[in-house]
Amino acid sequence: MKIDLHTHSNVSDGTQTPTELVEAAVAAGLDVLGLTDHDTFDGIAEAERAADRLGIHLVAGVEMSCRYRGQSVHLLAYGVDQHHGGLRDELQRIRAGRTGRLPAVLAKLAELGVPVTREQVLAQVGDSPSVGRPHIADALVAAGHVTDRTEAFDRFLADGGPAHVERYAAGVAQTIDLVHGAGGVAVLAHPWGRGRREVLTADVIAGLAHEHGLDGIEVDHQDHDQHTRELLRVLAGDNGLVITGSSDHHGLGKVDHDLGCNTTDQGQFSALMSRIGSGGPAA
Ligand code: AMP
Ligand code: ZN
Ligand code: FE
Ligand code: FE
């Protein structure tokens, strides 16, 4: 069983349509594919149709943007009621905040001598209901200011970078509670990637597990080196957390994130799915 629980389509910042993503997952030999676009379920219905047709198991998910003490945190939610009012409202707030900061980012880029217009960014958005930094990065590439997304982030758009603008995000604990309220399970995405480790410490993650019933952590991810993965595996074991592994595939939008490059153990996957609908921590 090959299980990849974290991927993106062009409904957020990936480059494949949900159908193309499912086709690629089948070609990569996956048995289970999690579609987890940023802050939207818009790709799920199409992906489910393709998955039914091609005989692969699709896990409906979403990667929610939230925050802990000023640090950006991503939370993967699986098995939620996609019509839950509170969850829908929160996703809408996140998307509005992301799109809403676009003029401020464009003003900074112009000041920095690498101007792109709103129209140039919108041409990169695909079917995404919000406009994110990766789309702005793609516009910078198309305008010839940088060679790829990575350079756009490194020079301008990364957290704390010269063209970075803060946006709305709720706290991670509150977001875990919301996911449970919507009947789903919550897994911290790449918890120790990109400078998160200093803020999202082992003690903080243990607290989220014991006080908010955090269900799992993504251990096998390209943002984690081998040593980090071993530490996170121990942390998961100590706190009853499910361990996941995934590609965080973005089509052509991220190099070295091929489908199935990291996978989730079948037993861990079953443990995670069995927690859906349990409303949080085991009694
Ligand atoms: P946004 O949600 O608009 O703030 O954009 C965040 C997205 O940009 C993340 O989900 C990542 O896919 C991507 N991203 C964030 N930081 C970096 C970085 N340093 N290098 C490349 N991509 C990044
Ligand atoms: Zn992304
Ligand atoms: Fe992420
Ligand atoms: Fe992701």
Average pLDDT across each block of 10 residues of the chain; the chain has 283 residues. List them in order.
98 97 98 98 98 98 97 97 98 98 98 98 96 97 97 97 97 98 98 95 98 98 98 98 98 96 98 87 44
At 278 the pLDDT is 83
Ligand 1 test: best mutation among 11, 66, 71, 133, most atoms within 8 Å of CB? 133
Cα–Cα distance, 250 to 7 (Å, whole number)? 6
Using the mean position of ligand 3's atoms as its centre, give its distance from the Cα of residue 236 in Å. 19
Cα–Cα distance, 173 to 212 (Å, whole number)? 7
Please, are residues 180 and 214 in contact by the beta-carbon 8 Å criterion? no
Q: Does residue 162 fall inside a structural domain?
A: no
At 99 the pLDDT is 97
Residues 119 and 230 in one domain: no
Residues 211 and 79 in one domain: yes
At 281 the pLDDT is 47
Tokens of 280: 């949080």
Ligand 1 atom with least separation from CA of 248: 12
Cα–Cα distance, 81 to 79 (Å, whole number)? 7
Residues 7 and 79 in one domain: yes
Residues 125 and 83 in one domain: no
Q: Domain count of the chain?
A: 2
Tokens of 128: 């995404």
Using the mean position of ligand 2's atoms as its centre, give its distance from the Cα of residue 249 in Å. 8
Residues 87 and 204 in one domain: yes
Using the mean position of ligand 1's atoms as its centre, give its distance from the Cα of residue 278 in Å. 32
Q: Which residues line ligand 1 (CB under 6 A)?
A: 13, 38, 65, 98, 132-134, 149-150, 153, 158
Using the mean position of ligand 4's atoms as its centre, give its distance from the Cα of residue 190 in Å. 9
Cα distances from 212 to residues 5, 23, 103, 178, 190, in angstroms, run 22, 36, 36, 10, 19
Residues 47 and 135 in one domain: no
Q: Which residues on neighbouring strands pair with residue 59, listed in sequence order?
A: 34
Q: Which residues form the domain of 123?
A: 104-157
Ligand 1 atom with least separation from CA of 167: 4
Ligand 1 atom with least separation from CA of 65: 2
At 283 the pLDDT is 39
Tell me the whole-structure pTM to 2 decimals.
0.96
At 279 the pLDDT is 65
Residues 26 and 122 in one domain: no
Residues 146 and 214 in one domain: no
Residues 19 and 111 in one domain: no
Residues 208 and 187 in one domain: yes
Residues 212 and 90 in one domain: yes
Q: Which ligand is nearest to the CA of 249?
A: 4
- Any idea what the CATH number is for the domain that residue 210 is in? 3.20.20.140
Residue nearest to atom 13 of ligand 1 (CA): 134
Using the mean position of ligand 3's atoms as its centre, give its distance from the Cα of residue 259 in Å. 15
Taking only Cα atoms into account, the Rg of the chain, rounded to an integer number of angstroms, comes to 18
Using the mean position of ligand 4's atoms as its centre, give its distance from the Cα of residue 6 in Å. 6
Ligand 1 test: best mutation among 131, 153, 167, 254, most atoms within 8 Å of CB? 153
Please, are residues 255 and 226 in contact by the beta-carbon 8 Å criterion? no
Closest of 174, 161, 102 to residue 136, by C-alpha:
102
Q: Does residue 200 fall inside a structural domain?
A: yes
Residue nearest to atom 10 of ligand 1 (CA): 38
